[in-house]
Amino acid sequence: MKIELQRALSDEDLLQYPCDCLVVGIAAEEGGASQTLLTSIDQASDGLLARLRSERELPRKAGQTLLLHAVAGVAARRLLLVGLQDVGTDDAIRFQKAARAAAAAIMGSRAVSIAWMVGNTSDRLMLSVLALQEADYRCDHYRKVEENPLERTACLFTATDDVSTQRRVAEAVAIAHGVALARDLGNAPANVCTPTYLGDAAKALAQHSACEVEVLGREEIGKLGMGAFLAVARGSAEPPQLIVVNYRGGQDGSAPIALVGKGVTFDSGGISIKPAEAMDEMKYDMGGAASVLGALHACVELKLPINVVGVIAACENMPGGNALKPGDVIRSLSGKTIEVLNTDAEGRLILCDALTYVQQRFSPALTIDLATLTGACVVALGNVHSGLYANDDTLATQLMAAGTKVGDRAWRMPLDDDYQEQLKSSIADVANLGGRTGGSITAACFLSRFVEGKWAHMDIAGTAWKGGANKGGTGRPVSLLAQFLVDAAAPV
């Protein structure tokens, strides 16, 4: 979808604006652009809106919409009314719900040219862009499509088209592109999106002069001493890849922000094999890697003045004659030994080596790892919030604030030392499993042993994809991550 930004027109001009769909919000407050426009529409249509209001058919709450065709006095072929009466000025979540409902209604029609009069502040315009781009996303690469998709254009009307508003919309478009990339990677079947495929996707970023990409294979990974990573990979015929993307948009010598992603392109569970039901969804176990690449894509598009390094440990977790076994003891890059109690707790094994690597090589200012790590996080938070763990309060606050801005929410979880007791091993430095209780917390505690300095871990097992009838990658938490980087790059 093409996004355009235009200074708001007069009510009379909007009534005569030629488009397929005019979208107008119905807010609670009197006055304002939407309210005066609604009055003009009502007058031009001989009291249509008043009749709908008296019959209680006008949408009121966020998520409610009404699509009208051929409204008298309105040049647009369709008029879409969107409920905003329960949406407060700073209520990003409810506004996002309304914007998504409006975008879905548009996509359910044949409208191609859209005039958008739903919130004209820069923050609401950003959420509108994200909602429109999300609804317009299609994954049609792997099936025969009978007709070409509609090429839609949305014109967003704003009270002011100053530089800051233009920049905010540009940021939203770039973030949406990063989300789409992550969704494409997640939705790709595991026989397509292999570790090598992820490496090639990263190399595409190297076309930008400020971006360098290295992809290391099995032998090079072995020479580095990444024993935990290779232990997970050895059951699969697919070669593992350590993918390093170094974006240098900031000052030379400035410590980078490090993003570390879990890239298990298919997770069978290994010897501790998963149940067959819904195992196809384990192609999404590279959601952390996809999020790193999506966030870096936004960085590149916006040319952010910041240094960011992305490190992805990519492999499959498969059973086989050479596969890792329960009870094995392996040595990580850090030198710590790990007793493997369950081979399906593999994400933390590849991440611990990736975390050690990024700190040894890049000495980052802070580190954020992203992983579809535990089913326990899904039980705790469902698919609404991503689980957020951090050893620094300021970092946690910044990440949560970034998520709120773009409607990509996270919830901070505990990281108390008391949980570390569950990871004791009788024969190694640490066990890779802490038992059934607090499973997402003990997984984060495991990772905390392999980091120094500011660090955050995001467990996105419940948010990176949706199952069931609407199965597909969501691209979360690219929006949160990219907004965090935008905020970090902003001048103080």
- Can you give the pLDDT at residue 439? 97
Domain ranges within the chain, ordered by starting residue:
2-157, 179-489
Which pLDDT does position 33 carry in this prediction?
Answer: 54
Residue 349 has a pLDDT of 98
CATH topology of domain 2-157: Leucine Aminopeptidase, subunit E; domain 1 (3.40.220)
pLDDT digits 0-9 by tens, 167-202: 999 999 999 999 999 999 999 999 999 999 999 999
The mean pLDDT values, 10 residues at a time, for the chain of 492 residues are: 92 95 82 75 94 93 95 96 90 94 96 93 94 94 80 91 90 98 98 98 88 97 98 98 97 96 98 96 98 97 97 98 98 98 98 98 98 97 98 98 96 97 98 96 98 97 93 97 97 76
Would you state the pLDDT for residue 441?
Answer: 98
Taking the model in full, what pTM does it have?
Answer: 0.96
What positions carry a catalytic annotation? Answer: 274, 348
Nearest to 460 by CA among 238, 232, 202, 263: 263
Three-state SS annotation for the chain: CEEEEEECCCHHHHHCCCCCEEEEEEECCCCHHHHHHHHHHHHHCCCHHHHHHHCCCCCCCCCCEEEEECCCCCCCCEEEEEEECCCCCCCHHHHHHHHHHHHHHHHCCCCCEEEEECCCCHHHHHHHHHHHHHHHCCCCCCCCCCCCCCCCEEEEEECCCCHHHHHHHHHHHHHHHHHHHHHHHHHCCCCCCCHHHHHHHHHHHHHCCCEEEEEECHHHHHHHCCHHHHHHHCCCCCCCEEEEEEEECCCCCCCCEEEEEEEEEEECCCCCCCCCCCHHHHHHHHHHHHHHHHHHHHHHHHCCCCEEEEEEEEEEECCCCCCCCCCCEEECCCCCEEECCCCCCCHHHHHHHHHHHHHHHHCCCEEEEEECCCHHHHHHHCCCCEEEEECCHHHHHHHHHHHHHHCCCEEECCCCHHHHHHHCCCCCCEECCCCCCCHHHHHHHHHHCCCCCCEEEEECCCCCEECHHHCEECCCCHHHHHHHHHHHHCCC
Q: Domain 179-489's class?
A: alpha beta
